[in-house]
Chain A
Amino acid sequence: MAEIYLDNGATTALSEGVMARMTEVMRGTYGNPSSLHRKGQEAEKVMEDSRRVIADYLRVDPRTIYFTSGGTESANTAILGAAYRNRRLGKHILTVRGEHPATSETLRYLADQGYEVEYIDSDAEGRAIFSSLQAKLRSDTVLVACLHVNNETGVIQPIAEMGRIIKLLNPKTFFYVDAVQSFAKMQILPDEWKIDLLSASAHKFHGPKGVGCLYVRRGLQLPPYIRGGGQENKLRSGTENVPGIAGMAEAVREAVEDMAGHDAQMRACKMRLYKGICEAFPEAVVNGPSPETGASHVLNMRFPGIRSEVLLHALEDYGIFVSSGSACASNKPEEKSPALSALGLSRDEMDQSLRFSFSRCNQPEEMDEVVRALQQLMPRLRRFTRR
């Protein structure tokens, strides 16, 4: 049975090219970048070349790129570091509802430490409202933390405008952007958009798991989050994950090569599936932004009367893999689906929502098969709903 993997927001398949590059590095460039001999030098070169690839994509100085273990570590380093660096400014933090737990849990930790965490109002699709940002930004606001593309709904935040507003009103406020879902899928311009800190994770764009990076604007000195041998300019100690870093760079290279083409392909998949679902199931509703304005790789839909987890398991039998935000009724759906909860969906509605997330590996024709599978499954599942 052919697999149709539509859970690319969770993780993506490792690309063959990345795998080959990593194998090559693991086999040949096994040295420790800190070693003084030739083997160390070779490893260091692999790392610095990788850093340059990523910096080139973001159009920034390579010295602003720090390698980490992934999105969550980057978020923790950025948020805790920014709060510490700005500790004399105040204890006020602004964020948006429906953030990823890597951000929201770190902010909750800061709230326990006495920080005041306030939410920027968002519109019906989950997008931050500028006037609310303007009104709530204060002289003691140390940080604004915001997702670029929401992992559940695909809503794209107007980062460039937000950056401009923040720096206009309070140049001292740091702006942290979680770009885990958008990195290597769209052009991101930290310099132009006035971003101070930005996080990314390799496995969301066909790179390996366990590696990511943090962009830290030049001139901003973050305290180390992991202390030790002083690697990564003392920000992140620990022997560097050289093969992972090389793999991440290779994944960026592949992604950036034809970013517009990949985007068009994902968009085509999304629209084809969206239209197919709407034709077959007129009662289905989109959660979050309209399919045209949301990110190309995320489609979140609600099927009234159907429990998404059951549908998810039933789709497995067709080799189709998707994601349901909330696991089951006994768990707290607000915690599993913060973004849907922020949109005001009820528990039942969250329980009926399914996320399809695409990658450049998906073909638009596959979407017809997904619709066919849904058509076969729905009549049966509709009969067995919670009454």
Chain B
Amino acid sequence: MRNGLLIKYGEIAIKGNNRWSFEHLLMDNIKERLRPVGPFTVTKEQGRVLIEPSGDVSAEAAIEPLTRLFGVVGVCPAVIFTDDSMDSIYANTLDFLKESYGTDSRHTFKIEVRRSNKRYPLNSIEIASMVGEQVLNAFSDWTVDVHQPEIKVFVELRNRVYVYAQTIPGPGGMPVSPDNRAVVLLSGGIDSPVAGWMIAKRGVELVGVYFHAHPYTSDRAKEKVVELARRMSFYGGRMKLYVVPFTDIEEKLDLTCPRDEITILMRRFMMRIAEKIAEAENCIALITGENLGQVASQTLQSLVCTNAVCKLPVFRPLIGFDKQEIIDLAKKIDTYETSILPYQDCCTIFVAKHPVTKPKLSGIERSEALLGDMEADMKDAIDRSEIYYLNAGHVVQPETAR
């Protein structure tokens, strides 16, 4: 009986003249997300997207993937029908409620009617009370409560009629667009996947960059980052991941520069490489999981030093969070368990016992000058990168950049 889903997308609906472009983007993303699930038709109507199975697949199967798609505010299992006579509305509503709640349950309810078809002979209040009466007759233990009902039954009369009672929340945000691309620096820790998720939620397609330092880090650390990216892609959809070999640069830094500044210098090169990858990938911003004061390299002074090498805007959505707030989000988006697996990320091996916490940019630049020209080193690292393609939880094994 429940034969479709009604998708609520909130924020997009209040856009102005370009609303259609967001709607079409959302519909495209829905279609792509549902392609592996089965055949569905996706249509839109006045602030709603409708999803109906067009073959041998249940509408329910589409719920879970859609609750992780950015732009979706809520998913409502619904019955959708064309005959808008009152008899048809009665029959469909009662069937829908029986299927959803059974006949011997006890609930309080309210009928809420929306009628965009203003030529309909009855108004919303009249329809609601008439449908309500039918429900009271059919469910002997149900009672009306218009203030705090347990079940709010929505009857919407638009081009067709939709009846639904439940809204399964989606992640909200904006549909991800291939026109808005940004590079997210992934470390394998708890913070960076959350940072990437937050920016992707605002409609940004991500390209991940991870710096791998074999043999100083285990290949399992790399596998962990691939798994994190895979989990992020459940929300964002398409995602590319660069695994950049960083050992040579790290060793050079370690041999040439003061130990207590290594982390800052390393991060400056990471930012530079990320920016070069961004350029090649048509990305116009960088994203990091940096969080003010969390570690030595994330003090205000350290951030000034790492930020100084970038021309692109660097987004740090976690900058003002407390660790617990980040952990809560990581748990919510299901990256936490993977993040806490105990493999070292590349930062920890070359870390000094007492790294600088208040570096001066001029001093850092002086130390960096000892290295000479690093352009060729960075280009070589990018060229030797492995590239993974991820899409909604699927991973395609890597190829080398060149």
Contact = CB atoms under 8 A, between A and B. Distances in A.
Contact of A310 (B215, B254, B259, B352): B215
A314 interface: yes
Interface stretch (A44-52, A76-84, A85-93, A324-332): A324-332
A245 B348 CA distance: 46
A330 B342 contact: yes
Contacts of B352: 387
B365 to A, nearest CB: 23
Given A313-B218, A314-B215, 8 more contacts: A316-B215, A328-B343, A328-B344, A383-B254, A383-B255, A384-B216, A384-B251, A386-B349
Contacts of B353: 387
A317 interface: yes
A316 B218 CA distance: 11
Q: Which of B215, B217, B348 has the most CB of A within 10 A?
A: B215
Given A328-B344, A330-B344, A313 B251 contact: no
A309 interface: yes
Nearest to B351: A386
A30 B343 CA distance: 42
Given A310-B349, A383-B255, A384-B251, A331 B216 contact: no
A171 to B, nearest CB: 46
B44 interface: no
B81 interface: no
B142 interface: no
Nearest to A331: B342
Nearest to A309: B218
Contacts, number: 39
B219 interface: yes
Interface residues of B, number: 18
Given A327-B342, A330-B342, A384 B215 contact: no
Contact of A313 (B219, B254, B342): B219
A313 B259 contact: no
Nearest to B344: A328
A384 B344 contact: no
A313 B344 contact: no
Interface residues of A, number: 18
Interface of A: 307, 309-314, 316-317, 327-328, 330-331, 380, 383-384, 386-387
Nearest to A328: B344
Interface of B: 214-219, 251, 254-255, 259, 342-344, 348-350, 352-353
Nearest to A312: B215
A330 B348 CA distance: 10
Contacts of B349: 307, 310, 384, 386
Nearest to A386: B349
Nearest to B250: A384
Contacts of A314: 215
Contacts of A331: 342
A229 B299 CA distance: 64
A140 B381 CA distance: 66
A1 to B, nearest CB: 16
Contact of B215 (A313, A328, A330, A386): A313
Contacts of A327: 342
16 contacts: A310-B349, A312-B215, A313-B215, A313-B216, A313-B217, A313-B219, A328-B344, A330-B342, A330-B344, A331-B342, A380-B251, A383-B254, A384-B216, A386-B349, A387-B259, A387-B352
B114 to A, nearest CB: 57
The 7 lowest CB-CB distance pairs between A and B, nearest first, are A313-B215, A314-B215, A328-B344, A310-B215, A310-B216, A384-B254, A331-B342
A317 B254 contact: no
A384 B219 CA distance: 19
Contacts of B348: 330
Nearest to A330: B342
A326 to B, nearest CB: 11
Given A330-B344, A331-B342, A383-B255, A317 B350 contact: no
A313 B348 CA distance: 16
B343 to A, nearest CB: 8
A313 B214 contact: yes
A231 to B, nearest CB: 37
Contacts of A309: 218
